[in-house]
Amino acid sequence: MSPRVRLGLFGVSAAVLACLFVWALTGLPQFGAFQGEYGRILNSAAGPERHVTNVVSAVTFDYRGFDTLGEEVLLFTAVMAVALLLREARSGDERRADAVRSDVVRAVGLFAVGPTVVMGLYVAAHGYLTPGGGFQGGVATASGLVLLYAAGRYRAYRAASPKTLIDFAEGTGVGTYVVVGLAGIVVGGSAFLENVVELGVKGTLASGGTIAILNAVSGLAVASACVLIFHEFLEELMTAK
């Protein structure tokens, strides 16, 4: 196909696409116009029903709790696949030196480890009170550990994330989610993921019933999933072939 024909073809299709695009834009609702009836209902129902102040957490861990379980299992499967593929393929035990040469990077980076981990835990723990939750807090906590490698040494990161403990935490996080779900059927006698715990006082850490538990265990699962993936990738990088 000659460049001229190509250009012509592109011109025609771009023009058609532009027309369709503009046509579609004119049919859109006004910017900011909210048409989700479901959202309005949840905004008024989540507080009284589940005693949480962050409605988003009520959606992820209760009204759409089953979807979140799917996401947990998805992450779990991805992590297992990474571990299976990379752990199998590695052989050598030699590690290369990776000391950080800049004192400033080391000082600032290592200083940030503690605050980052604390902030991650805070964001995770207060998921059903303020924006945040297990997922966000979990990744933030894991990123605090990554700083150990980025500003310190790989050995420090390895020491802070023992493989057996992380594997165990990952399995426990996902497993407990399922157990809490099943408790809804067995103890609650009704549906999967039905609340079976005291709802507590709205606005305090002791509120939300099963939302609080599911938030915590998914934080555990996400944090250990991230640490595990980072671990495998770093190991792959640091082990000399």
The footprint of another protein (CB under 8 A) covers 31-32, 54, 56, 123, 131-133, 135-136, 139-140, 142-143, 146, 226, 229-230, 233-234, 236-237
DSSP state at residue 30: P
**Cβ at position 225, least distance to another protein in Å:** 10
Residue closer to another protein by CB (options 174, 223) is 223
**Cβ at position 205, least distance to another protein in Å:** 18
**Cβ at position 237, least distance to another protein in Å:** 5
d(CA 177, CA 179): 5
Strand partners, 207: 200
Two structure tokens written together for 210: 């099963």
Residue closer to another protein by CB (options 146, 169) is 146
Spatial neighbors of 203 by CB under 8 A, at least 6 apart, are 53, 129
* SS3 state of residue 200: strand
Exposed (0-12), middle (13-18) or buried (19+): which is 189, by Cβ within 10 Å?
Answer: exposed
Residue closer to another protein by CB (options 84, 179) is 84
CB 217, CB 176: distance < 8 Å: yes
**Cβ at position 184, least distance to another protein in Å:** 24
Residue with tokens 């981990």: 117
* SS3 state of residue 92: coil
Residue closer to another protein by CB (options 100, 229) is 229
CB 157, CB 148: distance < 8 Å: yes
**Cβ at position 140, least distance to another protein in Å:** 5
Residue closer to another protein by CB (options 183, 214) is 214
CB 155, CB 165: distance < 8 Å: no
**Cβ at position 81, least distance to another protein in Å:** 14
